[in-house]
Amino acid sequence: MSLIRLDGVTREIGTFVILDQIHAAIAPGERIGLVGPNGAGKTTLLRIVSGRDDADRGTVMRRRHLSLGLLSQEAHFDEAFMTAPDLRSAVRHGASHLEKMAVQLEALEHGGHAAGNEYSDLQHRFEILGGYTLDQRVDEALSGLGFARDEWQRPPTALSGGQQTRAALARLVIANPDLLLLDEPTNHLDVSAIEWLEEHLRRRTGALLVASHDRAFLDATVTRVWELRDRKLTVFRGDYSAYHRQRIERDERAEREAESLTGAIEKEVDLVQKYRSQRKHTKMHEHEARLERLKDAKEEAPKAGRSLRLKGQALVGGPVRSGELVIRLDELAVGYLPGRGALTADGTDAKDPVTVARAPFLAAQRGDRIGIVGPNGAGKTTLLRTIAGDLPPLDGAVTFGHQVSPAYLAQLRDAAIPGTTVLDAILEAIPVTVGEARGYLARFLFRGDDAFKEVRSLSGGERSRLELALLGIMPSNLMLLDEPTNHLDIAAREAIEAFLIESPATLLVVSHDRRLLENICEKLWVVGDGLAVPFDGGYRAWRTAVADGWTIEAEAARRANRVRPSTMAPKGALSANPSGPAAASAKASAKASAIAAAAAAEASKPAAKTRRAVPRPKLSKEAYRRRSEALDAELSRLGLRKTQLELAMTTPSVAANFVEMRRVTSELADVERALAEAEDAWLEMEEQAP
C-alpha cells in the first residue's frame, strides 16, 4: 500500500494555476527526487504532501498512522525546538517517541514490573527502534552536519539562521519518519556535511521525497525522479543522470514532432487558400477541419523546456590575452580590520585585525580553472574578496600578471545594479543597440516583457542571471566567482557550466556545487584550519586523497620543504597590472586596501626600515615588446616542463626507480628555480615599461 497517493491534485493562486491535475504515489522505502525550474511548484507540492497546505481540487490520501517530517527552505521551528535548553536536547527531542518510551520503562522498573510482559514488550520495541543507540546517533548527526562540540551546549535561539536549519535537519534525521520531505537540504551545508547526509539517506529504510538543484546529491540519494514542468508532473526511473538522458531524448523528440506539425499546418493553410480561391467549398471545409485538429495537437503536444544559451555571448571584442602568470599570492594573510568586519569569538567588534586564513604560496597560470573549497567559515569568500580588492590583505602580497583584467561576482549581491530595468542595465554597461541587447538578454531567459522588469524586483535566480549576463560582456580574462550557481535551477547551472568550459578566461571559483567543480575545475585551492594550500587535481581526486589521509597541514608542510620560487613583491604590498575598466576599479580598490593594511601594521608593531627601490631606465616600445614576447615564451616553456616533471613523478616506472626519481626531482628543482627567475625578470621588465 502506498504511503501517499495524489489524485488530480490542483493548486491555484488567483487565476494562475501552479499545479494542474497531479497524479502520483509514494511507496514505502522509495527515494524520489523532485526537480523542475524555479517557480515550477516544487515547494508547493511538498507542502501539500506534508499536509501544511490543502489542494484546491483533487485528493491526497495518506496511510493511517503515517509519520512524516518536512524540512522547508523557510525553516519552520516549533516551540519545543526553540525553547530547548541546548542544541543537543533540541535535536534529541526529534525522537520524542523514544524519550517517552524511556520514561515508561523507567517507571515500570521503579514500580517493580520489570519482569512483566508489558515491560518486556516495551523494551523490545524500544530496542528495535534504536532507543539504546539514540545518544550515539544524536552525536553522529551533530558532528556529521558540521556542529563543533562546543556548539552543542548553545541554546537554539543563539544560533544563526543557517545553523538552525542544519539543526532542524539533524532533528529530522533522528526522528526517522516513515516519509522524509526535504526542500533544498544541501543549502547551508559544506562538502563534508553533504557527504554525511548522502550516506545517511542511502542507509535509511524510510521513504524520501527531496527537492534539490544539487545534481551530485540527487545522483547519490534517489532512485526515481519526479519532474514538474508546465504545471504537470512526469515520473522518470533512475537517478538524476538517468533522468537527464531521458529528458534530453524526450525534448529532442518533442522538437521533431513540433517541426513536423508546423510543416503540416503550413501545408494545410496553403490548401485552404487554394480551395477557397477555386471556390471548392467542400474541400476547403475538409482542410479547415484538419487544420484545426493539427493546431489543437500542436497546442497539447509536450514542449521542450526553455534553455539558458550562453554560447557566443560576446557583444563586442573579447578580452585581451594575459601573461602566462595571472595571479600570485605570497605569504598572504586574509581577514578583517577593526571597524571593517573584525569580530571576536563572541560576536563583538574586535580591536585588532582578525586573521581568517593564510596562504603561504598560491599561483594561477593563464587558462587555469581553480576551485576554492573547504568547510563553511574557513575563509574561502574572504580569500576571494581579498584577491578582488574588496578586502585589504592583512599581510603578504597579491600580484596580478601582465594585462590581467579581473571581474568579480560576489556571493552576497546586495549592491545596486545600475539601470532601472534589466534592459537598462545592459545598455549602461556596453554601447549596443536595443535589439542587440534584447537578443543577448534572451540567452539568459529574459525574453519579451522580462527585459523591462525593474532590477529591484528581481528574484534571487533572476538577479543571478542578470549579473552573469553583465559578467559575460565585461572584457575580463580573470573571473572571480563566489557561488555562481546560487539561486539557479538545474538547467541554468548546466548552461553556466557550458559557458565556463568554453570561456578562455582564467577562473577562480568558490562553490559547493560538486558537479560544477568536477566538470570545470582541474585544480583546487583548499582552505581550512587557518591555511590555504593548492591541490594538483580535481574535486574527486581531492576527496579520494582526503579519504586516504591527505590533510591541509601535511600538504602545507610538504610544500614548505620544497624549493619554492622567490617572492615577487615585498610583504604588505599589493601590486596589480591589469587593464580595462573593470581592472581600473580593482586596481583602485587594491591600492586603498594596501594603504589600510599598511596603516594597521604601523599601529600594531614597530616601524620597519623602508626599502627604496632603485628606479630603472624605461625601455623603448620595441625593446619592451621583444622582451615581453621572449619572457612569455620562456614562462610557457618552463611551466609546461614543470607540469611534465610533476606528472612523471607520479608514474610507477619513475616512482620505483630511485636513480630516475632523483634525476626528475633534481631537474624539477632547477626548473622551479628558473621559473622564479623568469617571473622576477618579468616583474623587472614591467617596471621598465614605456
| CB-based contacts of 444, cutoff 8 Å, min separation 6 | 308, 310, 465, 466, 468, 469
- Whether 607 is covered by a domain: the verdict is no
Rounded CA-CA distance 669/663 in Å is 10
Look at the chain and report how many structural domains it folds into. 4
Both 24 and 106 in a single domain?
Answer: yes
* Residue whose C-alpha is closest to residue 209's, from 66, 13, 21: 66
CA distance to 202, 304, 418, 588, per residue, from 340 (Å): 44, 49, 25, 18
**Domain encompassing residue 158:** 4-244
Tell me the pLDDT band of 564, cut-offs 50, 70 and 90: very low
Round to whole Å and give the CA distance between 261 and 278: 26
Instruction: Look at 61-65, 158-162, 311-315 and tell me which has the smallest mean pLDDT.
Output: 311-315
Q: Considering the domain boundaries, does residue 447 fall inside one?
A: no
593 and 658 share a domain? no
Give me the mean pLDDT over the 632-651 stretch: 78
Distances (CA, A) of 238 to 31, 185, 220, 647: 10, 20, 11, 38
- Write the CB contacts of 344 (distance below 8 Å, at least 6 apart in sequence): 350, 354
Average pLDDT rounded to a whole number, residues 123-133: 88
My answer on whether 251 and 349 are in the same domain is: no
Map residue 8 onto helix, strand or coil. Answer: strand
Task: Report CA torsion sign: 355, 360, 363, 368.
Answer: negative
Residues 6+ apart with CB under 8 A from 22: 6, 8, 9, 10, 45, 58, 232, 233
- Looking at the structure, tell me whether residues 159 and 250 fall in a common domain: no
Task: Tell whether 611 is covered by a domain.
Answer: no
Q: Is residue 443 part of a domain?
A: no
Given this model, what pLDDT does residue 670 score?
A: 80
Given a contact cutoff of 8 angstroms between Cβ atoms, the answer to whether 600 and 393 are in contact is: no
Same domain assignment for residues 209 and 252 = no
Q: 42 and 176: one domain?
A: yes
The pLDDT-based confidence of 79 (bands split at 50, 70, 90) is confident
DSSP one-letter code for 455: G
Residues 643 and 583 in one domain: no
Q: Is the pLDDT of residue 26 over 80?
A: yes
Query: Does the pLDDT value for residue 242 go beyond 70?
Result: yes
We report the CATH number of the domain holding residue 142 as: 3.40.50.300
Q: What is the pLDDT of residue 609?
A: 35
- Say whether both 543 and 674 belong to one domain: no
Q: Which cell numbers hold the place of 535?
A: 591541490
Domain end (from 574, 602, 630): 602
285 with 357, same domain: the answer is no
Cα distance between residue 455 and residue 221, in whole Å: 37
pTM for this structure? 0.71
Q: Which three cell numbers stand for residue 592?
A: 586603498
Position 601 scores a pLDDT of 44
pLDDT computed for residue 593 by the predictor? 41
What is the C-alpha to C-alpha distance for residues 486 and 463, in angstroms, rounded to an integer? 10
89-93, 186-190, 641-645: range with lowest mean pLDDT = 641-645
Domain boundary among 244, 259, 276: 244
Does a structural domain hold residue 198?
A: yes
CA distances from 444 to 359, 450, 461, 481 (A): 36, 11, 11, 18
pLDDT in tens, 521-558: 999 999 998 999 999 999 999 999 998 999 999 999 88
In a domain, 430, yes or no: no
In terms of DSSP H, where are the helices of 237-357?
240-277, 281-300
539 lies in the same domain as 509 = yes
Are 410 and 513 within one domain? yes
Asked if 339 and 387 sit in the same domain, the reply is yes
Question: Is 665 among the domain residues?
Answer: yes
C-alpha 303 chain-centroid distance = 29
Domain-located, residue 317: no
Q: Are 272 and 291 in contact (CB under 8 A)?
A: yes
Confidence of residue 252 (pLDDT cuts 50, 70, 90): confident
pLDDT digits (tens, 9 = 90+) for 373-431: 998 888 999 999 999 988 999 999 999 988 888 888 876 555 557 678 888 888 887 77
679-686 average pLDDT score: 77
Residue 160 reports pLDDT greater than 70: yes
The tens digit of pLDDT for each residue in 472-519 reads 777 788 999 998 887 788 888 887 888 788 888 899 999 989 999 999
The Cα 487–Cα 295 span in angstroms is: 37
Give the lowest-confidence range in 48-57, 85-94, 182-191, 442-451. 442-451
Q: Which residue has the higher pLDDT, 348 or 34?
A: 34
Over residues 295-338, the pLDDT tens digits come to 877 776 655 555 555 444 455 556 678 888 899 999 999 999 88
